[in-house]
Structure 1
Amino acid sequence: MGSDITPRPAATVMLLREGRRDGEATGLEVFVLHRVAGMAFAPSVTVFPGGGVDPSDSGPVPWTGPDRQWWSAALGTDVDKASSLVVAAVRELFEETGVLLADGPASETQRQAVAEHRSSLADVLETQELELRSGLLRPWANWITPEGNPRRYDTFFFLAALPDGQDAQMLTTEAESGRWARPADLLAEHAAGTLAMMPPTLAMLIDLQQAGSVQWAMSQTRTVVPLMPTVKSLPGEPLQVEVDGRVFSLRRQGS
């Protein structure tokens, strides 16, 4: 079942900042959301902000920075899809955290209008005379849900550094909480069985754990190639997949 389902394009943003506690630097942190238990897809799982590409993401958007052709080459896909993925990444981050990757701010009222599909991101940018800043994003990875799943996504992962003067909040009804955390701490919670994460999220955190700073992470040049994991677990067992010789397991709360 699900082998004939075309994966839906999706964009996810790993929003980064340099952590500080009591005036001391604590290292790179990433913003994560804990999804509510009632979600049809990935309930009670910790994720990065993101979601599926909407039809409005394909329209013209005021844009500055690397152009659509550059993003097409960086993401290994056609120009139209690359453009919609970049717009979706910026829109989803804005909807779910309030952080806008543009050359100026937008209001909470405008964010709500985008989240409720009463306005598009392009509408907000044009009203505020703003431009999307694609140079604030970095291409990172592309994971495709294996065949046989009732919901399949062709998910592209991006990096973004938290812009000066902005802060992330948990603003989506799809999550019950949001927080900044060091990748190593999130991985330790997962290993202890107290935090559930999907395999792509685990893989991204392992990558980020190697980054010494936000600047180092944002300076990396990545070749984005599509990865489709192989499911190793049997029906009814906790999800376990293998990709590039690495095995990742989904842990449930309290497991």
Structure 2
Amino acid sequence: MPLPQELAERARDILAGRVEPVATRDAATVVLLREGVEVYLLRRKTTMAFAAGAYVFPGGSVDPRDSDHAVAWAGPSPAEWGEMLNADECTARGLVCAAVRETFEESGVLLAGPDATRVVEDTTGDDWEADRLALIDHSMGFADFLAKRGLVLRSDLLKAWAHWITPEIEHRRFDTRFFVAVLPYGQRTRDVGGEADKVAWKRPADAIELAHKGDIFLMPPTYQTLTDLSAHAAIDDVLAVRRDIVTIMPRAVEIEGEMRLMTS
């Protein structure tokens, strides 16, 4: 994809060594799926500093407290997740916790339950909303939230999907692991506001078509993830597919005098 003038100039400065890329922040994002292979998308507000106006999946940066060993845990261990994500155990713990926490913050869906075999069936109500807002403003850590409600994080409800790193030319950069998860029985997403001004359930192919028409804006990682998912007709197919997690970091290259962003 061609780069706008400001980013093209920054890309040339970075390639020439005149500007140092900013450091990345660990982040996690979750593709929520429901029957019919529909995905949950949020449109980020146009006032946001990163990915303004883009349709994205729930997710965000890892909070230091996400790596807290006090987080009640069920399912594959952080060490096992480290092997799946090509990360050390501490980083993997933070990524999985961030994935579950951010999904709850941005959709109201909680991948947790009273024990290793059950999942919360309803996260609506004023008390749940108060806890969600407390997580967002950092007045409550995720470990305290789970302990308060007698819940354990269900890491087995997540499937590792992809690994994308924001290009070096961007002013804000994230080292993001993508997960997929099925909407738990009884739960439903809700428009929770915050960083998004619109939410929608879309079939991957339909979202891609809308992007081609210019009706919605998708960033490369979202576009590629939707493309991958569009090849599957059922949720079970998505969960059964083998995924080799390969790190992808789009890079700026100059082609016939034009700076373009390439993913391969």
What TM-score results when the alignment is normalised by the length of structure 2? Answer: 0.84
1:1-255 equivalences in 2 (<5 Å): 3-18=20-35, 27-60=36-69, 61-103=71-113, 104-105=119-120, 107-232=128-253, 241-244=261-264
- Percentage of matched positions with identical amino acids: 44
CA shift for structure 1 position 240 = 5.1
Contact kept, 8 Å, 2:169 with 2:252, in 1: the verdict is no
For 1:120 and 1:170, the matched residues in 2 are separated by: 22
Contact kept, 8 Å, 1:45 with 1:197, in 2: the verdict is yes
Name the larger-Rg structure.
Answer: 2
Q: 1:44 to 1:164 in 2, by over 3 A?
A: same
What TM-score results when the alignment is normalised by the length of structure 1? Answer: 0.87
For 1:87 and 1:194, the matched residues in 2 are separated by: 33
Contact kept, 8 Å, 2:27 with 2:95, in 1: the verdict is yes
Residues 107-128 of structure 1: CA distance to partner in whole angstroms, max 9, x if unpaired?
A: 2221111112111111110111
Structure 1 stretches of at least 4 aligned residues deviating more than 6 Å after TM superposition: none
Q: Which runs of 5+ in 1 are unaligned?
A: 19-26, 245-255
Residues 197-237 of structure 1: CA distance to partner in whole angstroms, max 9, x if unpaired?
A: 11110000000101111111112231212111123479xx8
Could you tell me which residue of structure 2 aligns to residue 248 of structure 1? Answer: none
Deviates more, 1:124-133 or 1:140-149: 140-149
SS at match of 2:37: strand
Q: 1:233 to 1:16 in 2, by over 3 A?
A: farther
Higher helix share: 2
Q: Which runs of 5+ in 2 are unaligned?
A: 1-13, 114-118
RMSD over aligned Cα, in angstroms? 1.7
Contact kept, 8 Å, 1:199 with 1:241, in 2: the verdict is no
Residues 23-56 of structure 1: CA distance to partner in whole angstroms, max 9, x if unpaired?
A: xxxx210000001111111111110000111111
